[in-house]
Amino acid sequence: MWALCAFVTAQEAAVEMTVSSTSVTQGDMLRLTLTFVNCKVKEIEPPQIKGLEWRMGPSTSTSTQWINGVTTSEQSYTYGYTVTAGNELQIPSFSWRTNKGLQKSNSVRVMVEANDGKAAKQRPSGQKTRSVQRDLVTAIEPNKRTVYLGEPLVLTYRIYNRYNNLDVRNYDIPELEGFWKETVDAPEARWEPQLINGKRYNVATVRQVVAFPQQTGTFVLEDFNLKGYHRINFFEGRDVQATCDPVEITVLPIPENAPSNSLGTFANLAVQQTLSSDSVSTNEAITVEVSFRGNGNLKFLREPKLAWPAEFEVFDAEIKDNISVSARGESGKRTFKFVAIPRAPGDYTLPPFEAVSFDPLTASHVTSRAPGLRLHVRKGQGDSSTPGMTFTHQQEVQVLNQDVRHIATTPSRFQPRSRPSWTPWAWGVAFAASPLSFLGLALVRRRRIQELADATGTRRKRALRQLQRSLKSSDALTIETIGEAMEQYLMAKLGWERSQLTREAVKQHLTVKDQALAEQWDAFWEACEMQRYGASQGNLDALAQTLLTLGETTEFRWS
Amino acid sequence: MMVKNSRLLILLGWLALPWVGLSQPDVDFQRANQAYESGNYEEALGQYEDILATHRHFESEFNAGNAAFKLNRLGLARLHYERAKLLSPSDEHLKANLALLESNIVDRITAVPSLGLKSWLASWVGPGQWLNWTLWALFWWTLMWVLWGLRWTKKNRDSRATLGFLGMASLALGVTGFWGISKCYERMETPGQVVVMSARVDVTSAPVESGTVLFQLHEGTRACILDRTEGWTEIELDNGNVGWLPDDAIADV
């Protein structure tokens, strides 16, 4: 900004001293201009100024104006200096010898910032100062660069312009990926002068947005581009473009110990619960309002789950918003208005309502509690329900949570993965048992059939067994039993009938086959006769044993 | 007399040896249940898996699945539930837990409509059905021989025809039992399904890492085995998609 240090009338002679900037950094170039109005200097040298080191000049210019018969002439001398002072710089007034006599220039005060880097950091608008160094530039200016998930972030889109005649053709507001945004209502953008780094800029705020980050991480905001036309004069002009420096926004996650019922990120969230009346009749509607007040995206709040008594019929909540979006963020109140109708008399209590949220100001989870509500419901007039009758309004059972079924505690049989080596053999035997049994039975049956077909042969085969059975089965052994057993054996063995069986016939028949055997049988027959018809009784057991032995000998020799 | 009694005791002890041995997993099972009910799911899971290393046991598989579910290890939970399903396919609690688990895993697979005969048959020939099939086959096999034996003794033509028909029917049922036994053995020796154990794994078109990635599967998804090569398994999802998975990302059911 050009500093105007003196004011003179057109007719009066004067010397004006101006500087290119009244706020400079140590080491910057400062232009100092001496303007001789309505006078001419006779001799001029670069002014020696403490804190400034002369570098160049002078460059001169002369102009003459004639307005309403009054002539004003100006002669300017511009010098270039390097600022060496580290603090405030006071350019004193100088006396100049002119054709209109000795004229005195004004003094100028210049603020100098030390060039040690530290000062730049202390500047609140350091980023802005760095970015605004060109004649036309756009900028995205966040109110903070590190936010928590869901914490509101105000983004201001500005255009900095040093051109006198600039037509802004269009500009692109970039999309905000990963953010929910609300646009701040603002009047139409207009240029406002602003001094930045000692330069005068026209600044226009084209949009303000309240952004709510929905993802964690680092986001780069850029591509706020502008296209315009700089009109140099009536005939000349050129297209100009501007873009903004990227702005990094870091979104931090909410600390992991967030309660499961957390509503999100809100600053100073307060919850309130009100009841329209604390005493009503049955079937008379009541209104319960649950209000959330605070800063943050209140539009994200969903209908709260209230613990209604089962005797209440509750309708869907009506939402009332009083939310303002401004350059300070989003704040206000969201109210959920429930209409409920108690259907049965009694005293009811709505439990306290708790709202848990993450407060980015304290970086902690905070709980706001609304006290419980008490309601007395009288029996209404015309209510036909009898005393003690309970409310029969039914509703579907609400599934609140899901979990796996409980473990099985009664064990079934444990099946070893490695079975004993004998197991396959055991199963093999089990499976082979039935066909083997079948085979055995078949053989037995076949044998039986064969025996039935050959009665004589079968009788012969079983002669000894029959003999043994006869001798063992008799309780009291007598000579008749022994004799009958002998005859039965011989008949079976020889295949004879009883009529054929005589002692002589047996002897003759056996003599042909076995002489010794024939004699033994004949001796035994005789012994039996002696026993039966003799005077004395012999040893019957020995006789029976002899018969058995004789039978076994016969079986052995005839087989 | 004393000698005879002592021999009898030794014989009884020898016969009871397997039953004495079975009581140890029962004790371990009760201990694991106590750990689960006290909220120590990690310890309970380890004890159930110790039992399952040496025994096939539906309740241990089911409970191990529950413990893994509580630990949010959905792949392991699915694996134990699927193994429990092989032992007792119709258990209602198991069906409920599997449905809940499927709603928690990432992949939702819509099965291709089918008659369901294959899956129905597969549910009958799990490893847990081996003893049932063996007893079934033994019963009908034995009955067949008995009927044929009876038929031989009958002289009445109608009786012989009836017994012959019943014998053939028993033979047919016995053959189904032998089929069930063979399938159970086959199922025990060669697993038919896998469960994805990695958080996310690429399914490729060929059993090489450079194969085209066809789709991705996530922990807890079950697939049928089509083929196997060194380090890779070809799988088919219920929706018909087929691809190859590395063996280190899956576990056999």
Q: Which tens digit of pLDDT belongs to each residue from B168-191?
A: 999 999 999 999 988 888 877 788
Closest residue of chain B to A441, computed from CA coordinates: B149
Yes or no, beta carbons of B51 and A442 under 8 Å apart: no
Rounded Cα gap, residues B106 and B216, in angstroms: 11
**pLDDT on residue A292:** 93
Residues A347-357, mean pLDDT to the nearest whole number? 87
For the ranges A492-496, A503-507, B17-21, the lowest mean pLDDT is seen at B17-21
Residue whose structure tokens are 């085209």: B212
Q: B57–A402: do the CB atoms touch at under 8 Å?
A: no
A267 and A370 part of one domain: yes
B36/A435 CB distance under 8 A: no
Give the chain B residue nearest A442 (alpha carbons): B149
The answer to whether the Cβ–Cβ distance between B55 and A414 falls below 8 Å is yes
Cβ-contact A149, A253 below 8 angstroms: yes
Provide mean pLDDT across the span A171-190: 83
Among A325, A358, A378, residue at a domain's last position: A378
Nearest CA to A319 out of A305, A340, A308, A333 is that of: A333
Residue A148: pLDDT over 60: yes
Q: What is the sign, positive or negative, of the torsion defined by CA atoms of A512, A517, A519, A522? A: negative
Do B36 and A431 make contact, defined as CB atoms within 8 angstroms?
Answer: no
3-class DSSP assignment, residue A327: coil
- The sign one gets for the Cα dihedral A455, A461, A462, A464 is positive
pLDDT computed for residue B155 by the predictor: 86
**A229 lies in the same domain as A286:** no
Q: What is the structure's pLDDT at B170?
A: 95
What is the sign of the dihedral through the CA atoms of A296, A298, A303 and A307? positive
Chain B: closest CA distance from residue A218 (Å): 25
Among chain B residues, CA nearest to A416: B55
User: Do the chains contact at A411 and B60, CB–CB below 8 Å?
Assistant: yes
Over range A31-39, report the average pLDDT: 86
Residues of B in contact with A403 (CB under 8 A): 100
- Is the Cβ pair A438, B69 closer than 8 Å? no
pLDDT for the residue A1 = 36
Instruction: Let me know whether A241 and A288 are in one domain.
Output: no
In whole angstroms, what is the distance from residue A521 CA to residue A467 CA?
15
Torsion angle (degrees, nearest 10) of CA A554, A555, A558, A559: -170
Q: Between residues A389 and A150, which one has the greater pLDDT?
A: A150
How confident is the model at residue A90, as a pLDDT? 83
Residue B236: per-residue pLDDT: 92
With an 8 Å Cβ cutoff, are A412 and B59 in contact?
yes
- Please give the average per-residue pLDDT across A419-434, as a whole number: 85
Percent of chain A past pLDDT 70, that is, above it, reads 91
Smallest CA–CA separation between B208 and chain A, in Å? 34
Q: State the CATH number of the domain containing residue A341.
A: 2.60.40.740
Residue B246 Cα, gap to closest chain A Cα (Å): 27
**Residue A418 counted as domain residue:** no
What residues of chain B lie within 8 A of the CB of A430, using their CB? 138
Q: Is B47 exposed, middle or buried (0-12, 13-18, 19+ CB in 10 A)?
A: buried
Q: Whole-number mean pLDDT of chain A?
A: 82
Residue at A299 is within a domain: yes
At which residue do the structure tokens 């044993």 appear? A545
**A288 located within any domain:** yes
Average pLDDT over residues A261-281: 88
Q: Provide the number of structural domains found in chain A.
A: 4
In a domain, A438, yes or no: no
Contact indicator for A52, A30 with CB cutoff of 8 Å = yes
Name the residue among B26, B57, B145 with its Cβ closest to that of A437: B145
Contact B59 A417 (CB under 8 A): no
Cross-chain residue pair A414–B57, CB shorter than 8 Å: yes
Q: For B45-68, what is each residue's pLDDT tens digit?
A: 999 999 999 988 999 999 999 999
A248 and A129 inside one domain: yes
**Interchain contact, A414 vs B25, CB within 8 Å:** yes
- pLDDT above 90 (res A414): no
Tell me the C-alpha distance between A451 and A453, whole Å: 5
CA-based nearest residue in chain B for residue A402 = B100
Q: A173 near A207, Cβ under 8 Å? A: yes
Q: Which of A229-238, A326-335, A338-347 has the least mean pLDDT?
A: A229-238
* Residue that wins the pLDDT comparison between B244 and A474: B244
- Best of B24, B60, B139 to disrupt the A interface (most A CBs within 10 Å) is B60
The Cα angle at residue A551 between residues A546 and A554, in degrees rounded to 5: 125
What does the alpha-carbon distance between residue A152 and residue B28 come to, in Å, rounded to a whole number? 56
pLDDT value for A8:
41
In this prediction, residue A5 carries a pLDDT of: 39
The alpha carbon of residue B97 is apart from the nearest alpha carbon of chain A, in Å, by: 5
Quote the pLDDT of residue A475: 74
Residues A226 and A169 in one domain: yes
Assign A115 a pLDDT band (cuts: 50, 70, 90): low
A243 and A269 both lie in a single domain: no
pTM (two decimals): 0.44
Same-domain check for residues A271 and A338:
yes
| Closest to B217 (Cα-Cα) out of B228, B232, B204 | B204
Contacting residues of A for B128, CB less than 8 Å apart: 415
- In angstroms, the CA A484 to CA A222 distance is 132
Measured between CA atoms, the residue of chain B closest to residue A428 is B138
Asked if residue A417 belongs to a domain, the reply is no
Using the beta-carbon criterion (under 8 Å), do A408 and B63 form an inter-chain contact?
yes
A117 conformational bin, left if phi > 0, alpha if psi -120 to 50, beta if neither: left
- Asked whether the beta carbons of residue B66 and residue A420 sit closer than 8 angstroms, the reply is no
Task: Identify whether residues A538 and A462 lie together within a single domain.
Answer: yes
Examine the pLDDT at A559 and tell me if it is beyond 70.
no
Q: By CA distance, what is B98's nearest residue in A?
A: A404
Rounded to 10 deg, the angle between the A540-558 and A463-473 helix axes is 170
CB-CB neighbors (< 8 A) of B71 in chain A: none
pLDDT, residue B141, reads 94
Asked if B138's CB is within 8 angstroms of A438's CB, the reply is no
pLDDT given for residue B5 in this prediction: 67
In the predicted structure, residue A133 carries a pLDDT above the cut 60: no
Distance CA B223, CA B240 (A): 10
Per residue in A196-220, pLDDT (tens digit) is 777 788 888 888 889 898 888 888 8
A389: pLDDT strictly greater than 80: no
**Residue A335 belongs to a domain:** yes
| Selected residue with higher pLDDT from A554 and A26 | A554
pLDDT winner (highest mean) among A102-106, A285-289, B8-12, B181-185: A285-289
Which pLDDT does position A291 carry in this prediction?
A: 93
Closest CA to B151 of B162, B142, B143: B162
Confidence band of A423 (pLDDT split at 50, 70, 90): confident
Question: What is the rounded distance in angstroms from the CA atom of residue B77 to the CA atom of residue A457?
Answer: 77
pLDDT at A10 over 60: no
pLDDT at A473 over 50: yes
Last residue of a domain, one of A344, A378, A412: A378
CB contact under 8 A, A402 and B100: yes
**Cβ contacts of B137 on chain A, cutoff 8 Å:** 431
Instruction: Please indicate whether, in this complex, the C-beta atoms of B36 and A407 are within 8 angstroms of each other.
Output: yes
β-sheet with A23-25: strand ranges across:
A23-25, A108-113, A89-91
Q: How far is B158 from chain A (nearest CA, A)?
A: 21
Nearest to A435 among B69, B101, B145 (CB): B145
One domain for residues A103 and A186 = no
Q: Is the ipTM of this complex over 0.85?
A: no
Same domain, yes or no, for A346 and A269? yes
User: Residue A452: its pLDDT value, please?
Assistant: 84
**Mean pLDDT lowest among A18-32, A281-295, A378-392, B166-180:** A378-392
Return the pLDDT at B231.
Answer: 93
A48 phi and psi angles, rounded to 5 deg: -90, 115
Chain A interface, Cβ < 8 Å to B: 402-418, 420, 427, 430-431, 433-435, 437-438, 441-442, 445
What pLDDT, on the 0 to 100 scale, is given for residue B15?
60
Residue A470: which domain range?
A: 456-558
| Sites in chain B below the pLDDT cut of 70 | 1-7, 10-23, 114-115, 119
Question: What whole-number distance in Å separates Cα of residue B30 and Cα of residue B59?
Answer: 11
What type of residue is A387?
P
Q: How far is CA A198 from the centre of its chain?
A: 53
Q: Is the pLDDT of residue A419 over 80?
A: no
Closest CA to A548 of A486, A506, A503: A486
For the residues A347-362, what does the mean pLDDT come to? 86
**A162 pLDDT more than 90:** no
Residue A43 maps to a domain = yes
Boundary (domain end) residue, out of A208, A229, A252: A252
What is the pLDDT, as a whole number, of residue B81? 95
Instruction: Give me the amino acid identity at A479.
Output: I
Q: Does any domain span residue A97?
A: yes
Is the domain of A24 the same as that of A93?
Answer: yes
- CB-closest option in B26, B53, B100 to A404: B100
Average pLDDT over residues A317-345: 87
Note whether A89 and A134 are same-domain residues.
Answer: no
Give the CATH number for residue A163. Answer: 2.60.40
